[in-house]
């Protein structure tokens, strides 16, 4: 008689399935236990970190910096402690931060900081606010000038047409010169997380750059610095020629004329061509402005009028006045007042980048920040600017 075994006995398919399910459930329970232990430890660590953050909260300014843009945190790290790893590896939206290093080292300031400095420079009292400012990527900026006129003549049906004059094209090359500043801060101050390093650095550099630029645009020699307005030769406006700045004399050495003081101002205005007068500006320092604003015309009306709204410049005979302290005081034969369309007459060329090199070694325990930019300037239209000479002729 044949023996029949029931399903589920050893060696049957049902027994193998039950064994496999039992092993899986055992392993799964062990996995759950391990995950619960890990989650509990993670929650304990988070609770500990929250307690430390609450107990030792950092200043609000530091928190603002930490939550700012990545390039801002990278620049902060470089300025504070010289950490350039973040700058080297930083990429924003697929575009790498410009961290070109020249032979001497140093990094280009990020666009936000650079623009902050430029805005202060534009607001400074120098020719920058009225001149033609161009941004270049080269070491110089060339301006082509047509200083002559094309000849013309009348023609009829029988008379041969004569040759006319050909205009002469001149090239004025404005070289870019390096302007530098070297502010310093103690390492202890840099370690203070509440210290706004970017704001401080921008303010110090802007102050030094603006003063140096303002002086160079007026009296720069052109040797290692921009060519200033007063560095060009001047001639009496009646015999003016290209390459010189024309002037109008007051008729009195070191002063305005005692009887008709305002006549020299009127003569200066109308010495400038009509096409330049529409955009013309007076440039003088505060001491000269103090003397000029007392002048009256024949009817007793002041030639000077203050701006009607905040931020508007004062006006002299209806034209705006720029107070540039680097202009000379009234003295014998001094060119103390300039009048012209400086947007046409004077060009400032500059590179857009500002380079900062961190030096923690040369002035210990202070850290030096060597900042450089390149800028140049020169007169590009000698017909657009006229001067007032405080002399007899």
**pLDDT higher than threshold 90 for residue 391:** yes
Nearest alpha-carbon partner for 269 in 308, 312, 315, 229: 315
Q: What are 142's strand-pairing partners?
A: 173
Give residue 54's pLDDT band: very low, low, confident or very high (50, 70, 90).
very low
Cβ(320)–Cβ(281) below 8 Å: yes
Better-predicted residue by pLDDT, 137 or 107: 137
Evaluate whether 198 touches 79 at the Cβ level (below 8 Å): yes
Label residue 145 by pLDDT band (50, 70, 90).
confident
Which is more confident, 324 or 109? 324
Kindly provide the b/e burial profile for residues 100-129, where b requires at least 16 CB atoms within 10 angstroms of the residue's own CB.
Answer: eeeeeebbbbbeebbebbbeebeebbbbbb
Give the pLDDT of residue 116: 74
Q: What is the pLDDT of residues 278-323, one digit of tens each?
A: 999 999 999 999 999 999 887 888 889 987 777 788 999 999 999 9
Query: pLDDT at residue 58 above 70?
Result: no
Whole-model pTM: value is 0.69
Q: How far apart are CA 386 and CA 381, in angstroms?
A: 11
**Above 60 in pLDDT, residue 49?**
no
Mean pLDDT (the chain) is: 79
Residue 79 predicted with pLDDT over 60: yes
Sole residue written with tokens 């050893």: 10
Q: Does the pLDDT at position 276 exceed 90?
A: yes
Per-residue pLDDT band at 183 (split at 50, 70, 90): confident
Task: Report strand pairing: 95-96 vs 91-92.
Answer: antiparallel
- Both tokens assigned to 307: 């701006």
> What confidence score (pLDDT) does residue 213 get?
92
pLDDT at 15: 75
What is the pLDDT, as a whole number, of residue 330?
A: 95
Domain residue ranges in the chain: 229-346+381-389
pLDDT value at residue 104:
42
229-346+381-389 CATH, one of 3.40.190.10, 1.10.10.10, 3.40.50.10330, 3.30.2320.10: 3.30.2320.10
Instruction: Average the pLDDT over 257-261 and give the result.
Output: 86
B/e letters for 63-76, b = 16+ CB within 10 Å, e = fewer, are eebeeeeebbebbb
- Stretch among 130-134, 243-247, 258-262 having the lowest mean pLDDT: 258-262
What is the C-alpha separation between 304 and 321, in angstroms, rounded? 9
Q: Give the chain as a 3 state SS string.
A: CCCCCCCCCCCCHHHHHHHHHHHHHHHHHHHHHHHHHHHHHHHHHHHHHHHHHHHCCCCHHHHHHHCCCHHHHHHHHHHHHCCCHHHHHCEECCEECCCCCCCCCCEECCHHHHHHHHHHHHHCCCHHHCCEEEECCCCEEEEEEECCCCCCCCCCCCCCCCCCCCCCEEEEEEECEEEEECCEEEHHHHHCCCCCHHHHHHHHHHHHHHHHHHHHHHHCECCCCCECHHHCCEEEHHHCCCCCEEEEECCECCECCCCCCCHHHHHHHHHCCHHHHCCCEEEECHHHHHHHCCCECCCCCECEECCCCCCCCCEECCEEEEECCCCCCCCCCCEEEEEECHHHHEEEEECCCCEEEEECCCCCCEEEEEEEEEEEEEECCHHHEEEEECCCC
- What pLDDT was estimated at residue 226? 96
Query: Which residue in 295, 386, 257, 387 sits closest to 334, CA to CA?
Result: 387
Tell me what the mean pLDDT of segment 218-247 comes to.
95
> pLDDT band for position 259 (50/70/90)?
confident
More confident residue, 238 or 358: 238
Query: pLDDT class for 123, splitting at 50, 70, 90?
Result: low
CA gap 369, 362 in Å, rounded: 11
Residue bearing the bigger pLDDT, 188 or 266:
266
pLDDT at 55 over 60: no
Burial (Cβ within 10 Å: 0-12, 13-18, ≥19) of residue 16: exposed
* Average pLDDT of the segment spanning 319-341: 95
pLDDT above 60 for 97: no
Most confident of 110-119, 200-209, 213-222: 213-222
Pairing of strands 335-340, 304-305: unpaired
Taking only the tens place, the pLDDT of each residue in 2-48 is 444 444 455 567 777 777 777 777 777 787 787 777 777 777 766 66
**pLDDT value at residue 48:** 60
From 177, 170, 175, select the one nearest 243 (Cα to Cα): 170
Nearest in space to 178 (alpha carbons), one of 371, 339, 311, 17: 371
């Amino acid at each position: 008689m044949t023996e029949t075994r029931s399903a589920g006995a050893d060696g049957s398919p049902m027994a193998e399935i039950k064994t496999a399910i039992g092993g899986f459930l055992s392993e799964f329970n062990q996995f759950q236990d391990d995950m619960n232990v890990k989650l509990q430890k993670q929650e304990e660590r988070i609770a500990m970190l929250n307690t430390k953050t609450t107990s030792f909260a950092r200043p609000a300014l530091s928190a603002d910096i930490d939550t700012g843009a990545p390039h801002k945190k990278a620049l902060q790290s470089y300025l504070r402690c010289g950490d350039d790893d973040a700058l080297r590896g930083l990429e924003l939206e697929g575009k790498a931060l410009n961290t070109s290093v020249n032979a001497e080292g140093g990094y280009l300031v990020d666009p936000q900081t650079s623009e902050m400095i430029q805005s202060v420079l534009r607001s400074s009292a120098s020719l920058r606010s009225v001149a033609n400012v161009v941004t270049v990527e080269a070491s110089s900026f060339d301006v082509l000038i047509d200083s002559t006129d094309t000849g013309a003549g009348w023609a009829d049906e029988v008379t041969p047409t004569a040759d006319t004059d050909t205009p002469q094209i001149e090239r004025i090359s404005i070289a870019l010169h390096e302007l530098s500043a070297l502010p310093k801060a103690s390492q202890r101050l840099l370690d203070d997380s509440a210290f706004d390093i970017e704001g401080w650095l921008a303010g110090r550099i802007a102050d030094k750059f603006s003063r140096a630029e303002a002086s160079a645009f007026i009296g720069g020699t052109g040797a290692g610095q921009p060519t200033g307005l007063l560095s060009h030769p001047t001639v009496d406006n009646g015999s003016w020629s290209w390459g010189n700045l024309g002037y109008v004399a007051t008729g009195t050495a070191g002063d305005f004329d005692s009887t008709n003081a305002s006549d020299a101002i009127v003569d200066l205005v109308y010495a400038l061509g009509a096409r330049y007068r529409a955009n013309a500006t007076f440039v003088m320092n505060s001491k000269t402005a103090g003397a000029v604003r007392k002048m009256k015309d024949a009817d007793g009306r002041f030639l000077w009028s203050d701006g009607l709204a905040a931020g508007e410049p004062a006006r002299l005979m209806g034209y705006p006045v720029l107070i540039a302290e680097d202009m000379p005081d009234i003295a014998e034969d001094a060119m103390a007042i300039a009048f012209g369309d400086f947007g046409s007459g004077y060009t400032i060329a500059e590179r857009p980048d500002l380079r900062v090199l961190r030096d923690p070694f040369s002035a210990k325990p202070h850290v030096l920040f060597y900042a450089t930019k390149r800028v140049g300037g020169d007169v590009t239209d000698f017909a657009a600017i006229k001067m007032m000479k405080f002399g007899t002729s």
